[in-house]
Amino acid sequence: MDGCIVKIESLNHRGEGVGKVVSGPYEGLTVFVPRTVPGDVVHASFVEKKKSFARAEVKKILERGKGRVTEACPVASRCGGCSWQHIDYAIQLEWKTKMVEEAFHRIARIHDCVVYPCLPSEKTLEYRNKVEVPVAYKDGQVVAGFYETYTHNIVPSEDCPVEHLAVRDMIRRLLEQVRKRRYKIYDEKTRRGSVRHLVARVAPGTDEVMAVLVSTTRKLPGLEVMASELIESVNNLKSVILNINDRATNIVLGDRDYLLAGRPYIRDVLGFGDPEEGGLGRLSFRISPQSFYQVNSYQASNLYATALSWAELKPDDVVYDIYSGIGTISLFAALRSSFVIGIEEVEPAVKDAYKNAKDNRIENVTFEVGKAARVMPGVLAKYPKPDVVIMDPPRGGAERETLAAVSDAEPRSIVYVSCNPATLARDLAFLKEKGWRAVRCQPFDMFPMTSHVETVVLMCASSEAGKC
């Protein structure tokens, strides 16, 4: 398609540079260009052109923006795993703050919420405690890596700099085993073949490692021998799992797990300090293959500490933790309140949450299985109304029915944890209509080298906002 000269002015929520054509027949046209920074002037080639905008890829950098740096990874320009390695870290933080502010202003029409500067991560590389990589044939060789931007073409990468070293090593070992045993690789177009993904997790607090092989079938030769070889050769490998996913889907994990060696979980330790002295506390958590667990353990403790600090929990408070997962926030909240009710629709996560409560000898907590909107009436009939509600929904945000149920419960405050500023702003707008006010927001850089940002927001009833 046509080429043009583009000057980059800003960054959008997808991490793309946003600029204008500065010369040629399309002068003034808005263009979205990945792998650019504000201040860049680039020769770009259109990959998609509409009447009011275009998408393009960089062909040549003519002028380098002030925030451009050398990437840590040799395949970063092609790999879709990290979109911001080329941006100075201070600039990354600045733009993540701006993205949150822009979502509040544009989507929620919220202009009076204090948005603090994005909190930097202790580690900007080697922080990811979990990796899921697809496998494929490339030039006759079995490879693993990440998808190229906007495609399902795999960019081979066995030395990703944002992955924890133990995770990186585990993926290499799994790939070696797949090659050694000549397992057939799944083709998503023909739906033939077996092995689809390699998954590795590490618990940074204990150094325990988990390996997961994702396949369409359980009938793979030598699975037990493979698992034994891995256990014997990898330090602190505590769990080797076969996961079955035989559906035509982009979701990585299927519903069935089979333990090949070790135990069905790894254990991590999270937190810091004594809650009676203002610390978060220190707890252990079982992590199963299906468990949601923050990928940046170093930053997760900071996020939970802020959420609970803003909740201002009192010893006699009742807390509802909605989308409670394996109970991370629930159990930390239980250390400083009277009783906590966790609500989670994924049943295996609830089972893990109960085990985590037992392991940590925490008894003032219970968990309910189901969608929050359906479960809330029964919870309210069985337990006292919440003094505080904490919510940490998935990327798609909370259902309106859930938000309405939370509002109707009339808690003192709502603490909303989000990984998506757009859906967060949408949900805040709905709560605003219900009489709630967003008081303050703290962005966290949970995902350095990407455009993603995590946030904690404190909401109070409009009539009580001055007391929060």
Q: Which two tokens stand for residue 93?
A: 């933080």
State pLDDT tens for residues 393-416.
Answer: 999 999 999 999 999 999 999 999
6-15 burial by CB neighbour count: b if 16+ within 10 A, else e?
bbbeebebeb
Which of 114, 395, 162 has the alpha carbon at shortest distance from 299?
A: 162
Contact of 89 with 417, CB cutoff 8 Å: no
Model confidence at 450: pLDDT above 60: yes
User: Whose structure tokens read 């100075």?
Assistant: 88
- How many CA within 13 A on the CB side of residue 322? 28
Residue 433 has a pLDDT of: 96
pLDDT band at 75 (very low <50, low <70, confident <90, very high): confident
Q: Which two tokens stand for residue 386?
A: 């919440």
Q: How large is the angle between the packed helices 400-408 and 421-433, nearest 10 degrees? A: 50
Mean pLDDT in residue range 131-139: 93
pTM for the model: 0.92
Tell me which of 419, 441, 460, 468 is the catalytic residue: 419
Mean pLDDT in residue range 80-94: 92
Beta pairing class for 388-391 and 413-418: parallel
State pLDDT tens for residues 159-202.
Answer: 899 999 999 999 999 999 999 999 999 998 899 999 999 999 99
Give domain limits for the chain: 3-68, 97-122+269-467, 130-264
CATH number for 130-264 (one of 3.40.50.300, 3.80.10.10, 2.40.50.1070, 2.60.34.30): it is 2.40.50.1070
Beta pairing class for 413-418 and 365-369: unpaired
Q: What fold characterizes domain 3-68? A: OB fold (Dihydrolipoamide Acetyltransferase, E2P) (2.40.50)
pLDDT band at 467 (very low <50, low <70, confident <90, very high): low
pLDDT band at 1 (very low <50, low <70, confident <90, very high): low
Q: Do domains 3-68 and 97-122+269-467 have the same CATH topology?
A: no
| 79 is known as an active-site residue | no
CA 202 to chain centre: 16
Q: Which two tokens stand for residue 458?
A: 């404190």
The length of the chain in residues reads 468
Model confidence at 466: pLDDT above 90: no
State pLDDT tens for residues 327-344.
Answer: 999 999 999 999 999 999
Give the integer Cα–Cα distance in Å for 91 and 391: 29
- How many CA within 13 A on the CB side of residue 50? 7
Determine the residue type at 446. Answer: M
Beta pairing class for 339-344 and 318-322: parallel
**Could you tell me which residues come within 8 angstroms of residue 219 by beta carbon, excluding any fewer than 6 positions away?**
none
Contact of 313 with 333, CB cutoff 8 Å: yes
State pLDDT tens for residues 100-129.
Answer: 999 999 999 999 999 999 999 999 999 999
CA 67 to chain centre: 25
CATH number for 97-122+269-467 (one of 3.30.1490.190, 3.40.50.920, 3.50.50.60, 3.40.50.150): it is 3.40.50.150
